[in-house]
Structure 1
Amino acid sequence: MNNENNFSLLCVVGARPNFMKMAPIMAAFSALQPKVDVKLVHTGQHYDVAMNHQYFQALGIPDPDINLEVGSGSHAVQTADVMKKFEPALDEVQPTAVLVVGDVNSTIACALVATKKGVPVIHVEAGLRSGDRAMPEEINRVLTDQISDLLFTTEESGKANLLREGIADGRIHFVGNVMIDTLRRNLERAVPTTQICADHGRPDFLKGKAGYAVLTLHRPSNVDDPAVLKALLETAAKIAERTPIIFPVHPRTRGMIDKFGLSHLVDRSDVLLLPPMGYLEMLGLMKDARVVLTDSGGIQEETTALGTPCITLRNNTERPITVDEGTNTIAGQDPQKIMAAYEDVMANGGKAGRVPQFWDGRASERIAAEVLAWMQRGCTIAAA
């Protein structure tokens, strides 16, 4: 704590979705006057060193001050390991507050350690709810919000959820979506899809085709059940007959495809299988796609910001604004609903949607300004 105000902030990232959220936040704090001393902890929850470096480099995130190198494990093991390794880091830095983002295991683990040691917690992307307690991320969201001192929401529904759960109004601030800050800052740097195809040995993949679809799958509810995964991949194969599919495959998903003997559904000429993509590559794929089929929460937001039709392969979403105002359609795991949504995109262009309030590229600036004001008040809620 070496600045004149002795304000310091310990920011936590653990998984790739966190990186896109933290990049603009750290940039916003670096521009603040007076300065807040910001340090970055990477828990290592996503432990692919090469991919992590690629994201940090692409997004301009400084190297972590502390790397806990936790690695993989069950939810319980990973959460416990993060807690054990984060506590000494917290003791060493002694920050004014800890800032966590999103809903991964690192989020709840570090928030728990901080609050038990009397260090205030700031949660960015608070209040999102799917209503599905079977999702580990939903548990992480609810618990993190309950122990946070300052909560920043991406959409108005977040505040309603938090108030219903007993969170004091003065702790909640609607600031917009930091993911969209990152998207807007990097859109011109997005890697063209034609280049991605060429780089992976398929330069003619889209030749003579009227666009393409993007598919991503990683949630256990979709990839761990052989019947569900088979139905989704059979539906994707049916779509690929008309609209070629680009499919960046999560390693775990690839393992399940092989385990269940479903490789024939994706190893075909009208499906381009790719390894996990960097941020700028995924941005390029989504930007120019006719439709995106996904079970990712972040991609629902990014496609809404890009105006790209999105079909969500889940029965619910914690981001209802992408459905109510954006380009997202919830189709679940039902092949008929998925095909109906796809047919609507092909015939009518899908949902037009609009960019939601405060998804303007300045959410991180609003966060930094509010955090500084809060620290200057002694980390207390402003009078009404």
Structure 2
Amino acid sequence: MIKLTIVAGARPNFMKIAPIVHEIQKQSSQGKEISFRLVHTGQHYDKKMSGDFFEQLNIPDPDENLGGGGGTQAEQTASIMIAFEKELLENRPDLVIVVGDVTSTLACSIAAKKLQIDVAHVEGGIRSGDLTMPEEINRMVTDSITDHFFTTSAIANSNLQKAGVASDRIHFVGNTMIDTLLANQDKFAQPEGEFFDSLIPKQYFVMTMHRPANVDQEQSLKAMVDAIVAGTEGLPIIFPVHPRTAKNLQNIGIKTGNLHMIDPLGYLEFNFLVRNAKGIITDSGGITEEASVMNVPCITLRDNTERAETIHLGTNELIGTDPQNLAPALAKLMKGDWKEYQGIPLWDGKTSERIIDTILKIYS
């Protein structure tokens, strides 16, 4: 029996682990000798940031919740490492699967390797080249000690090869977030309320901002929001607001008729809005992937991206963090002069099947 421990900690992780869990359940029901424990590190402990995702994506309740939320990044990392080491000593697996690039990914990889347990990194090898991003440090450290890499793109493969990783440890499988997207698209649901009833498809924008470079400096945040409001020509802008961003926006006192700040949404509701939007304005990495596959124009407010395939083959454009760059990008989008999704190799909904097949071959 191959024993796996799957780690999830923050909101983006849940979309990435759901199809892996479902594939293990399927293969186990077909007689394959494979089992898993699901460990929630508690990095995101808000109901909307965590609980709703388990329900909507049909993820079983975690076998263990480490309660590692809150505190500084160092405190969170330490807390998760201590709790996860205890979990591994009590329930030792053959392989720990970590996903993405959040604090939990880094902390659990280190704890596992120090106990001489193999680590597989789903979404290994992606790089932004920007060491001001905590996520980039998490990726680099995790990949430096990972045993098996499940990659989303040829670019990620190349990054790992350049770092000296042997080719038999790099497994190009695709993107589990897209497995989740394609499996759930028939269940996308309009959020409840009169405001959402009033929205006209392709006549509104969805916006997300959470990166410190964009939201922590109040004057630059105000300039960015002002430029977005001006460039969208009065169309509604739906902005599910991260708690930290909400506080900063409150301090600035932004009030405008077409900017609608709302609480974070569940997965099915948020992607319903994305699919029907005229465009997306974001500083997130994952949303650029989902928007591309749904062929929705996407503007990314960053100077770099670890998901370059969304620019080369998707609908994403990187415009930087200067608010002045928004006017020409939005003018182009408003005219309907935007690129179409070209198709990204292996983003086909079968990534988790490839991951579990590979694990069965290696560890059987």
Scaled by the length of structure 2, the TM-score of the pair is 0.96
Deviates further, 209-218 or 24-33: 209-218
Quote the offset at 1:269 in angstroms: 2.3
Deviates further, 339-348 or 361-370: 339-348
Correspondence 1:1-384 to 2 at 5 A: 6-32=1-27, 33-192=31-190, 196=191, 199-202=192-195, 205-206=198-199, 211-259=203-251, 261=252, 263-264=253-254, 267-376=255-364
The SS at the match of 2:123 is strand
Quote the offset at 1:231 in angstroms: 1.4
- Do the aligned partners of residues 203 and 144 (structure 1) sit closer, same or farther apart at CA in structure 2, a change above 3 Å counting? closer
Does the 8 Å CA contact 1:223/1:253 hold for their aligned counterparts?
yes
Q: Percent identity?
A: 46
Does the 8 Å CA contact 1:241/1:270 hold for their aligned counterparts?
no
> Structure 1, residues 302-342: CA drift from partner, whole Å, max 9, x if none?
00110000000101100000001100000112223222111
- Do the aligned partners of residues 75 and 361 (structure 1) sit closer, same or farther apart at CA in structure 2, a change above 3 Å counting? same
**Matches of 1:341 and 1:11, distance apart in 2:** 40
> Structure 1, residues 222-269: CA drift from partner, whole Å, max 9, x if none?
00112221111111221343322111111111011123x2x32xx332
Counterpart of 1:380 in structure 2 is: none
Does the 8 Å CA contact 2:9/2:43 hold for their aligned counterparts?
yes
The one-letter amino acid paired with 1:74 is: T
Does the 8 Å CA contact 1:87/1:113 hold for their aligned counterparts?
yes
Quote the offset at 1:7 in angstroms: 1.1
- Do the aligned partners of residues 242 and 160 (structure 1) sit closer, same or farther apart at CA in structure 2, a change above 3 Å counting? same
The one-letter amino acid paired with 1:17 is: P
Does the 8 Å CA contact 1:146/1:167 hold for their aligned counterparts?
no
**Matches of 2:242 and 2:188, distance apart in 1:** 21
Deviates further, 141-150 or 347-356: 347-356
**Matches of 1:221 and 1:354, distance apart in 2:** 30
The one-letter amino acid paired with 2:147 is: D
Scaled by the length of structure 1, the TM-score of the pair is 0.91
**Matches of 2:262 and 2:196, distance apart in 1:** 13
Quote the offset at 1:203 in angstroms: 5.2
The one-letter amino acid paired with 2:14 is: F
> Structure 1, residues 140-160: CA drift from partner, whole Å, max 9, x if none?
001111111010100100011
Deviates further, 296-305 or 268-277: 268-277
Counterpart of 1:3 in structure 2 is: none
Matched residue count: 361
Does the 8 Å CA contact 2:43/2:69 hold for their aligned counterparts?
yes
- Do the aligned partners of residues 169 and 240 (structure 1) sit closer, same or farther apart at CA in structure 2, a change above 3 Å counting? same
- Do the aligned partners of residues 357 and 50 (structure 1) sit closer, same or farther apart at CA in structure 2, a change above 3 Å counting? closer
> Structure 1, residues 152-188: CA drift from partner, whole Å, max 9, x if none?
1001000110111121111001100000000001101
- Do the aligned partners of residues 210 and 48 (structure 1) sit closer, same or farther apart at CA in structure 2, a change above 3 Å counting? closer
**Matches of 2:154 and 2:212, distance apart in 1:** 29
CA RMSD of aligned residues (A): 1.4
**Matches of 1:31 and 1:363, distance apart in 2:** 14
Does the 8 Å CA contact 1:183/1:302 hold for their aligned counterparts?
yes
Does the 8 Å CA contact 2:48/2:265 hold for their aligned counterparts?
no
Moved over 4 A (4+): none
The SS at the match of 2:327 is helix
**Matches of 1:150 and 1:99, distance apart in 2:** 9
**Matches of 1:136 and 1:297, distance apart in 2:** 13
**Matches of 2:193 and 2:244, distance apart in 1:** 20
**Matches of 1:139 and 1:295, distance apart in 2:** 18
Query: Which ranges of structure 2 fall in alignment gaps of 5 or more residues?
Result: none
